[in-house]
A = this chain, B = another copy of it.
Amino acid sequence: MREISQPSYHHGNLRRVIIDAALQAIGESGPAGWSLRELARRAGVSHAAPAHHFGDKQGLLTAVAVEGFTLFSDALEAAAADVWEVGVAYVRFAIDHRPYFEVMFRPELYRADDPGVRSAQERAAGVLVDSARTLSPGAEHDRMTTIAAWSLAHGFASLWLSGALPESSGGDPEALARSMIRLVFGALR
């Protein structure tokens, strides 16, 4: 009297199923607090199915990073019309797509030299550089302004996610980020 179904050999492509399961697991227990086998169990596949598609755990996380940076670039580009909103979009992405974000900026978890990762990363960086130029008080400060704007948005997102800011419980991250950006860069320009 087995309650487990017999083998049944899937033949759809499980890549998406597995990535989605990974995102959910990362959301629940952080980017390193889950196991491939538990993942497979939840996705209803064998314990080695993930390895087939992604080689190993790093390979799976590499796929997550690529997807993450791509979605990230899309989000930033969509906000680029209003320069002041790019930083807000940065924060919003980090919070709305926390699992992606947490993997993306932990390069030791995946293969950071993967060409797919590289190009997706560069695309995102490009959007940031372009919008920061608009905020810069002068061409000679362009690079410094980019770094400052990036640091400000990234730091706020990281602190918010790690729960270091007391406002994390209950506050509205977008509104807070918007005020912060206007305070800092309103004075600068």
Contact = CB atoms under 8 A, between A and B. Distances in A.
A152 B159 CA distance: 11
A112 B164 CA distance: 10
> How many copies altogether?
2
Given A33-B108, A183-B188, A151 B141 contact: no
A30 interface: yes
Contact of A187 (B137, B151, B164, B180): B137
Interface size grouping (class) on chain A:
35 or more
Interface string A96-139: 00000000011111001000000001000000000000000100
Contacts of A150: 155, 159, 165
Contacts of A141: 183
A176 interface: yes
Interface of A: 29-30, 32-33, 105-109, 112, 121, 137, 141, 144-145, 147-148, 150-159, 162-165, 167, 176, 179-180, 183-184, 187-188
